[in-house]
Structure 1
């Protein structure tokens, strides 16, 4: 065999290997998910159907929003994620910093069916919201003398020591507090009305917890009646055998948007867009609602009555969703938490 022929064969082999590696890379996506029950639902509702439909493989990095965003920032020049999921508004900052790529809505077959708020800035790089954690009033349907219907019901002295508040270091606790602040006349430039209300509630016997399992403990062991918290946690309490229900406050429902975002400077754009498209499909969103009681953002989702009762379901219900500006929350978080700590310590 001549050296020239050997060189040709080696060259062809190298090209074949390179092409094979590229193909393998093209059929693999790296995403983050949030661990625990959420990640299990993610696999069932989105990842499994995506792998089955495309033949691709999804690599999961378990990371909550803040940690995933920190990784994305640190890896700006060579990001590991193809698709990144957030629940704390990080997509707004990520898009502004060029870490996320704009999305052409025409490339998503399900985008047209999303509520407008869920696709408001695709062209700016903010990925679509594929689920909503709705914050309202979780209550014990057997012990509470009446079903709450308003955020102002939290101030009813009859609830008093049967009320559970969540520390604002908890994301859901923060949103519940900001809603209470709003109905008391405050806004994101003035949280004093909310702090005054919290002081009054604590003086009336309300307890403050920091984590969701403590809410379950209060409902199970300490005669709690009401807690401002997320719709999915009412479902968690029921699964634990507690008679918990969820209701939206008449003044509005704070919303934590769960978004799926296209990472900039990655080679698998078409495959990543397919993953995002499946995430916003009616089937995937119905699956999340059934598994975890998250509010769907696709108008074509159909839910069983018992599931619909636990979420903000349908065009009329989602009109009541309120998104407090994530940038304002992040900018003020440290100061607000400090003010909160002083209030509950008095």
Structure 2
């Protein structure tokens, strides 16, 4: 039977802020003395440099990039040697900033908040539709400030819970961000610290749910102090969150729909809730590093990420909603549905400006309460 297909733009939300971040480790490529020559070849076709270094999240994101996206790109451009540098978005931005005088990374594919911090630090090369033709397919709602990057996928952040454990223990099904503070959840929660978007976005939403916002974080910190006492410690990576859920030492966590669906497809009985107060949508943004050694290949690769083929990979392999209008299998499109009316759009400038302050406050006021 022929499978029914629907347009993804009827499913995904229009919003922006803060990625799903996954921890990983990568080896930094050695610098070459001079970039390979690039220009126009016979027949007017563009010649790419012989190398390209891409930085992005680890775990399943890294696997998709290396196993499929890189291979498909090399089918088109077999002479380009591709190198992947994995890490969480904050680490990648810090590395690129440290290398400003001699960039070793050409393209960063990272979360929106960290991309915005990099923009404020002058790390990205502005892009145009002449550079990246597929950029024209990205809706205005997903456009990035100063065209310093291009959104390649999106996913909402909310609460995931293990349906089996919740039913067996008679625990509550979460509906609100404030449900995370219910005493019945003590001993069943795992959350990331606020250096990760999986911890930072829920902190901001706890503020929204209690009369605050990213501009008034006191309500969120007060609620997070309660939650801290329900856990032995805060997780340092998404890998640790996954481990805690898989070994059933926890039944609840806060992270993206994409991450929740990946584990559900692997057999873990996870359900994702987009809370009644709403939540933000995480943008994954591809940016060309300013001063990149391989700028022609960088632009071509970013354009490639917006092709229908790659956009479908993001949806079917990792359950990220595509950033462009592309048809998906009906069952995948249905899995990616959530209430668009509940989107909360964070002020990216405030988040980028205040994150370091929030991390410092978290370390002083919240982290010491874990397990108490």
Shared fold per TM-score greater than 0.5:
yes
RMSD: 3.3
Indicate conservation of the 8 Å contact 1:125/1:262, yes or no: no
Of 313, 317, 323, which residue of structure 2 is paired with 1:287? Answer: 313
Alignment of 1:122-271 (within 5 A): 124-145=146-167, 147-201=173-227, 205=230, 208-210=233-235, 211-222=237-248, 224-238=250-264, 241-266=267-292, 268-271=294-297
The normalised TM-score by structure 2 is 0.73
Mean alpha-carbon deviation: is it higher for 70-79 or for 269-278? 70-79
Distance of aligned partners of 1:338 and 1:131 in 2 relative to their CA distance in 1, 3 Å threshold: farther
Alignment equivalent of 2:77, drawn from 54, 57, 72: 54
Shift, 1:114, TM fit: 1.8
Q: Which of 1 and 2 has greater Rg?
A: 1
Q: Which residue of 2 aligns with 1:15?
A: none
1:102 aligns with one of 126, 129, 132: 126
Q: Indicate conservation of the 8 Å contact 2:175/2:275, yes or no.
A: yes
Superposed CA deviations along residues 73-93 of structure 1, whole A, max 9, x for unmatched, are 233233222222222633323
From the two aligned structures, give the one with the greater helix fraction. Answer: 1
Rate the CA distance shift 1:120–1:240 in 2: closer, same or farther, 3 A: closer
**Structure 2 unaligned regions, length at least 5:** 1-34, 39-46
How far apart are residue 127 of structure 1 and its match?
0.4
Q: Residue 45 of structure 1 contacts residue 288 of structure 1 at CA under 8 Å; is this kept in 2? A: no
State the alpha-carbon separation in 2 of the partners of residues 202 and 36 from structure 1. 26
Closer, same or farther: CA 191–200 of 1 in aligned 2, 3 Å: same
Going from structure 1 to structure 2, the CA distance change for 1:281 and 1:149 (only over 3 Å counts) comes to farther
Uncovered stretches (5+) of structure 1, i.e. residues with no partner: 1-19
Return closer, same or farther for 1:49/1:318 CA change in 2, 3 Å cut-off: farther
Higher relative contact order (CA 8 A, sep 6+): 2
Tell me if structure 2 keeps the 8 A contact 1:152–1:183: yes
Aligned position for 1:118: 142
Match of 1:36 among 59, 71, 75: 59
